[in-house]
Structure 1
Amino acid sequence: MSVDALPRFRAENVRGMLRHGLITVVFCCFIAAALAITQHGSWGVQMVYSLSIGLISWLFIDVGRLLISGHKEILWPSGPWGYLLVAGGVTVGFLGGNAIGDAWTNQPLLDFRSFTERKLATTIIITLTATVCMCFFFYSLGRTKHMRRQIELAQRNATEARLKLLETQLEPHMLFNTLANLRALIATDPPRAIAMLDRLNNYLRMTLSGSRALAHPLSAEFDRLADYLELMSVRMGERLRYTLDLPEDLRDTPVPPLLLQPLVENSIHHGLEPKIEGGRIAVRAHQDAGRLVIEVSDTGVGLEADRPAAEGNGFGLAQVRERLATMYGDQGQMSVAPGPAGGTRTIISFPLPPRT
């Protein structure tokens, strides 16, 4: 739906009107107290006049601004319409509110001649000042809300652009490695090279036909990972064994695309390939205390003795760490440590989205 087609009295706008109405009631109480003090009158009578004038002005201005600009993003008329709306609200509120107050107190209807000059001037000044101040207050709230939405939109667009940039860096990295391996197989084992090329075609077809959204279901990430591991199995043969464990209740959890493949690629390149007999890679997802935890463990050669466990290595790990920081801030965590039975275990975790 386009912005110009938004309904004027949508739920968000109605809620905003009601908030303005409640603030107006509170403000009218202070005005009634001010009038009672300056004019030495009854606070109850002043409350009737104040609420009548304030609520009529509020309804006139709030309904008027939505009728004029409610289908737009900024809910306030531009140009002279805004000033005319305030002037109309002050006039209608003053006359209508005084009429209601006069009827309530059994006074002659709109008989301003019964007012002393000081009383009439005070009433007009307080009414005018209060209405203008309330309009400016509500206008400032609306502008602040609009600016906050614009800032959030800019930040979201920047995050999307950053994630897309990181993804475009990761995919060629994986493709170049695969093509290099394919080139070696063409010379040494043409049948396996053909099988690997078929797997690569399937993988690229799945990748290009998939969504380019910022997130997709965890099940899609596991499916894509399975395609990649099958592609690597053509090259490594029985030296590569793997298991994928995804609980049913986590299949629809949204995650950034291409999150797990760099971790598995790192396990293959730094863990299994240097080992003559190869090994096993296990990818397991589970939830813990409201967080999604994904473990990628291998039975490869393990971490180097002179490398801190928490640093990890390789282009892929650095990109995954940066993607987590971009998407989840301090809530996204990644650790690389020796596995309990040898090899390496990489763990990433971030908050689960609230269930709808």
Structure 2
Amino acid sequence: MTLPDSRHSWWTHLGGTALICVVVGLLNYLMQGGSFGIAMLYSFAVGTQISLYIQLLMTGVTRALRLQRGDLPELRHGWIGWGWVAPCVLLGALAGYAGGLWLGDLISGRHAVRPWNMPQGRAALSVGFVLLVSVLGTFFFFVLFRLNALRLEQAQALRQAAEARLTLLQSQLEPHMLFNTLAHLRVLIKLRPDEAQRMLDRLIDYLRATLQASRATEHPLADEFERLSDYLALMQLRMGERLRVKLELPADLAGIAIPPLLLQPLVENAIKHGLEPHVDGGELRVTAARDGKQLVLEVADSGAGLVQATDLPGTGFGLSQVRERLAQRYGNAASFELRPQPGGGSVARIEIPS
């Protein structure tokens, strides 16, 4: 008495069928009397066979229609139209009724009266009751599975919307990163043309690798650190010995997947607003560690610190991108904070499921 094409259809089918059998068995016992156990036995013997036969018939019809018409939406939702449902219910109900009476007799050792041995009025009532319960049960399961299909479609739509939002955020981030890098290059051209040439060559290689990798929705943490290493090599051409870099990625964390360019805005922010304004520059440290089931990523600098950085223009875009991408991808399972570091500088900390 159910329809195919739901992820949990068989479990729902069994549970719903058992509930219907209990109700029908209780009604038979109240109306006809006799043994409660026998009433339940025949109710389950008949009900389970009717349910099984209707399920098999409708599954077969649905598969045949898919081969003929393709995977149409109505077939995915489990409804093939009353023109096909009615014969399946009729045949399944009659076959299940006969088979269930035989099974009940076999288990109980009794001999239930068959419809063809009943008076005409009672036989019509008995068969009509079986057909009515079969039709109502089938329609009940269809409504139940249709609601489940709608929930699955809604969840899929929400996931697709989140993925589209992440793609939009990433497309905004890429030119932001490129403009920042070109701004550095423009300054260097005026001051040290030879170094600007080397930086331009490095920039071309960096952009080729980074823009190709950023088209994916995620990549291994090792690739993220490799892109950061390329970017920081560019920045070291500009800042020289004023920029000291430490990248720490344990081997067992290298394969964890994260969104591309997740750490890039934090590194840019640390250099632009932490280390560059500092006369002596400082150290930039990017680390990855595991804390229980969480992956902890930190970008720390020993530069100007948060007090000076908050008064500078342009600090909001990169950080807001990080927060929004984390919210879109991980929801409440992720956290992000930017705080002062003891002894000077700041540290940005991300925690995401590993």
- The two structures have a TM-score, normalised by structure 2, of 0.86
Does the Cα contact within 8 Å between 1:244 and 1:282 map onto a contact in 2?
A: yes
Tell me what 2:14 maps to.
21
Find the partner of 1:53 among 46, 59, 73.
46
Distance 1:115 1:101, change over 3 A: farther
Tell me what 2:100 maps to.
97
Partners of 1:52 and 1:178 in 2: how far apart?
75
- Backbone CA RMSD of aligned residues: 2.6
CA deviation string 1:263-315 (max 9, x = no partner): 0100000011111111110011112132111111101111117959xxx9431
Partners of 1:108 and 1:21 in 2: how far apart?
25
Q: Which runs of 5+ in 2 are unaligned?
A: none
- The amino acid of 1:327's aligned partner reads R
- The amino acid of 2:118's aligned partner reads S
Tell me what 1:194 maps to.
197
Does the Cα contact within 8 Å between 1:112 and 1:120 map onto a contact in 2?
A: yes
Q: Does 1:140 find its partner at 2:143?
A: yes
Tell me what 1:271 maps to.
274
Q: Secondary structure at the match of 2:307?
A: coil
Distance 1:79 1:23, change over 3 A: closer
Does the Cα contact within 8 Å between 1:31 and 1:126 map onto a contact in 2?
A: no
Tell me what 2:116 maps to.
112
Q: Secondary structure at the match of 1:304?
A: helix
Higher deviation after alignment, 268-277 or 199-208: 199-208
Tell me what 1:37 maps to.
30
- The two structures have a TM-score, normalised by structure 1, of 0.86
Find the partner of 2:349 among 326, 343, 347.
347
Partners of 2:27 and 2:112 in 1: how far apart?
24
Distance 1:229 1:113, change over 3 A: same
- The amino acid of 2:321's aligned partner reads Q
Partners of 1:102 and 1:276 in 2: how far apart?
95
Tell me what 2:302 maps to.
299
Q: Following TM superposition, by how much is the alpha carbon of 1:187 offset from its aligned partner in structure 2, in angstroms?
A: 2.5
Tell me what 1:317 maps to.
319
Does the Cα contact within 8 Å between 2:275 and 2:303 map onto a contact in 1?
A: yes
Partners of 1:304 and 1:77 in 2: how far apart?
66
Distance 1:96 1:27, change over 3 A: same
- Kindly tell me the number of residue pairs found equivalent between the two proteins: 338
Q: Secondary structure at the match of 1:280?
A: strand
Partners of 1:341 and 1:243 in 2: how far apart?
18
Partners of 1:191 and 1:210 in 2: how far apart?
29
Q: Which runs of 5+ in 1 are unaligned?
A: 1-8
Bigger relative contact order (CA 8 A; separation at least 6) = 2
Tell me what 2:340 maps to.
338
Find the partner of 1:260 among 263, 270, 273.
263
